[in-house]
A and B are shown apart, each in its own frame.
Chain A
Amino acid sequence: MNNPNSKTYNTQSAPHIPNTNTVAKVMLTVWLALIPAMIAHVWFFGTGIIIQLNLSIFFALMFEAISLKILKKPIKLYLTDYSAFVTGILFALCISPIAPWWISFIGMFFAIVVSKHLFGGLGQNIFNPAMVGFAVVLISFPQSMSVWLPPHSISPYAFSFVENLQAIFFNQFPDSVAFDTFTQATPLDSIKTGIGQQLSISEITSTPLFGDFGGLGWEWIANLYFVGGLFLIYKRIITWRVPAAVILTTIAFSLPFNLYDADHFIGPLQHLFSGGLMLGAFFIATDPTTGCSSHKGQLIFGAGVAIMTILVREFGNFPDGVAFGVLLMNMSAPLIDRLTIPKPFGGKKHA
Chain B
Amino acid sequence: MVDLIQPNHLHSFKGGLKLKHHKNDSLNNGLSRLKIPDDLYISLRINRGNIAKPIVKVGDSVLKGQVIAKPDNTRGCYIHASSSGIVAAIDERETASPDADISTVIHIQTDKEDKWIKLPLQESLDTKKIDAFTADKIITAIHDGGLVGLGGAGFPTHLKYSNGNKQKPINTLIINGAECEPYITCDEQLMMDYADDLIIGSLLLMKAAGAKNAVFAIEDQVGGIKSELESKLKERDITDISVVKVPTIYPAGGEKQLIKVLTGLEVPTSGLPLDLGIIVQNVGTIKALCDYVTHHKPLVERVITVAGDSINKAQNFIVPIGTPIKYLLEQADCQFASTHRIIIGGPMMGYAMPNSDIGIDKTSNCILALTEENTQHHGETLPCIRCGECVNVCPAELLPQQLHWYINGGNLEKAREHHLFDCIECGACAWVCPSQIKLVDYYRYAKSELKYLDFKRTKSDEAQIRHEQREARIERLKQERIAKRKKTRSRTRNKDKMQQDLKAVLDRVNTAKETKDQLDE
Contact = CB atoms under 8 A, between A and B. Distances in A.
Contacts of B385: 23, 26, 83, 122-123, 288-289
B432 A21 contact: yes
A347 B348 contact: no
A16 B341 contact: yes
B87 interface: no
Main secondary structure of the interface of A (DSSP, over half): loop
Interface string B391-419: 11001111101100000000000000111
A13 interface: yes
A22 B13 CA distance: 26
A239 B390 CA distance: 12
B256 to A, nearest CB: 7
A8 B326 CA distance: 12
A22 B341 contact: no
Nearest to B17: A19
Given A83-B385, A345-B256, A19 B354 contact: no
A4 to B, nearest CB: 10
Interface stretch (B157-165, B222-230, B232-240, B265-273): B265-273
A17 B100 contact: no
A17 B375 contact: yes
Contacts of B418: 341
Nearest to A24: B379
B357 A3 contact: yes
B436 interface: yes
Contact of B370 (A17, A341, A345): A17
Contacts of A196: none
B399 A342 contact: yes
Nearest to B401: A293
A6 B431 contact: no
A2 B402 contact: no
A13 B378 contact: no
B193 interface: no
A26 B417 CA distance: 30
A344 B356 contact: no
Given A2-B93, A18-B436, A345-B422, A26 B387 contact: yes
B350 interface: yes
A86 B137 CA distance: 68
B352 A9 contact: yes
B350 A16 contact: yes
B397 A345 contact: yes
Contacts of B340: 9-10
Given A7-B336, A26-B434, A2 B388 contact: no
Given A7-B356, A345-B395, A13 B351 contact: yes
Contact of A14 (B342, B350, B395): B350
A288 B94 CA distance: 43
Nearest to A3: B357
Interface in B361-386: 368, 370, 372, 374-380, 382-386
B379 to A, nearest CB: 5
B347 A288 contact: no
Contacts of B268: 346-347
B405 to A, nearest CB: 9
A17 B339 CA distance: 14
Interface in A1-40: 1-3, 6-26
B348 A14 contact: yes
Contact of B354 (A11, A20, A23, A83): A11
A170 to B, nearest CB: 39
Interface string B330-364: 00000010011111010111111111110000000
B427 interface: yes
Contacts of B35: none
B430 interface: yes
Contact of B386 (A14, A20, A288): A288
B382 A81 contact: yes
A26 B435 CA distance: 10
Interface in B125-147: none
Contact of B435 (A1, A23, A350): A23
Contacts of B93: 1-2
Interface in A280-314: 288-289, 291, 293-295
B77 interface: no
Given A236-B389, A347-B419, A348-B266, A19 B351 contact: no
B91 interface: yes
Interface of A: 1-3, 6-26, 77-78, 81, 83, 121-124, 236-237, 239, 288-289, 291, 293-295, 337, 341-348, 350
14 contacts: A2-B355, A7-B336, A7-B356, A9-B355, A12-B375, A12-B438, A15-B348, A15-B349, A16-B347, A21-B378, A81-B382, A123-B383, A295-B391, A342-B399
Enumerate the 7 nearest inter-chain pairs by beta-carbon distance, A residue then B residue, closest first.
Answer: A123-B383, A344-B422, A11-B352, A344-B419, A17-B347, A16-B347, A288-B386
Given A289-B385, A293-B401, 17 more contacts: A1-B93, A6-B326, A7-B339, A7-B355, A9-B339, A11-B100, A12-B375, A16-B350, A16-B352, A21-B434, A77-B382, A236-B392, A288-B385, A345-B397, A346-B256, A346-B271, A350-B266
